[in-house]
Amino acid sequence: MYPATVTGDRLCLRELTSEDLPVLTRLYGDPRVTRYLRFDALDAEAAAAKYEERRRTAFDAPRTRFEMAVTTPDDPAMVGTLGMTLEPPHHLSGWLNELVLVPEVWSRGYGSEALRLMIGLGFERLGLHRIWGLRRHDHPVTHGTITEAGMSQEGRMRDWVRTGGRWHDVVTYSVLRHEWDARRPSVTSARR
């Protein structure tokens, strides 16, 4: 599926373009933003390599990675990014990763909406059975962001991520297709 787009009330997801690279470089180079991610702050070269890899995998067939830009409906400029990887063996489980917004739009509930849009894409258009994600255990403010998107806390994985020269535990969350269907939030007017 390329290109994929998802339209919600306050946010949209679209494919990454080369115009997003300066925003990605700014985000991934900011230690305040990357503090709780899976990697330490990146220099411009490493950020560009990450962008190139994401663009490349968008054309895989079958496609198993959906690395999307988050925008507002009226402005194509990227305000964040979010990924979902379909996992083997069946590719019916999606792993949400690297939800990042530009600091100017933090604390507006955009994080939950972006997650809901990606979950809607996964269940309603890709036919997934299960979608899961995680946060660093020492980043508890995002518990509300994730549960507001309809996910339930599952458990804790020890020493799953290593950044800043240290190992960190992560807390995992998931939502199943039937749970999503029962709750079906109103912002998932997804279209291709």
Ligand X SMILES: CC(C)(COP(=O)(O)OP(=O)(O)OC[C@H]1O[C@@H](n2cnc3c(N)ncnc32)[C@H](O)[C@@H]1OP(=O)(O)O)[C@@H](O)C(=O)NCCC(=O)NCCS
Q: Does 144 bind ligand X (CB under 6 A)?
A: yes
33 lies in the binding site for ligand X (CB under 6 A): yes
Tokens of 119: 């979950």
Q: What gap in Å lies between CA 15 and CA 163, rounded to an integer?
A: 28
137 binds ligand X (CB under 6 A): no
Binding status of residue 132 toward ligand X by CB under 6 A: no
Peptide bond into 140 cis (omega under 30): no
Q: Is 95 in the site for ligand X (CB under 6 A)?
A: no
* Site for ligand X contains 141 (CB under 6 A): yes
Which secondary structure element, helix H or strand E, spans residue 28, and what is its range?
helix 21-28
Contact window for ligand X (CB under 6 A) among 40-48, 71-79, 93-101, 159-167: 93-101
- Type of residue at 180: W
Residue/partner pairs of 101-109 with CB below 8 Å, 24 or more apart: 101/70, 102/23, 102/26, 102/27, 102/78, 103/30, 103/32, 103/33, 104/79, 105/79, 105/80, 109/148
Considering only 17, 107, 152, 153, the residue that binds ligand X (CB under 6 A) is: 107
For position 50 contacting ligand X by CB under 6 A, the verdict is no
- Contact flag: residue 164 with ligand X (CB under 6 A): no
Of 38, 109, 143, 176, the one binding ligand X by CB under 6 A: 109
Q: Which of 142, 172, 174, 188 binds ligand X (CB under 6 A)?
A: 142
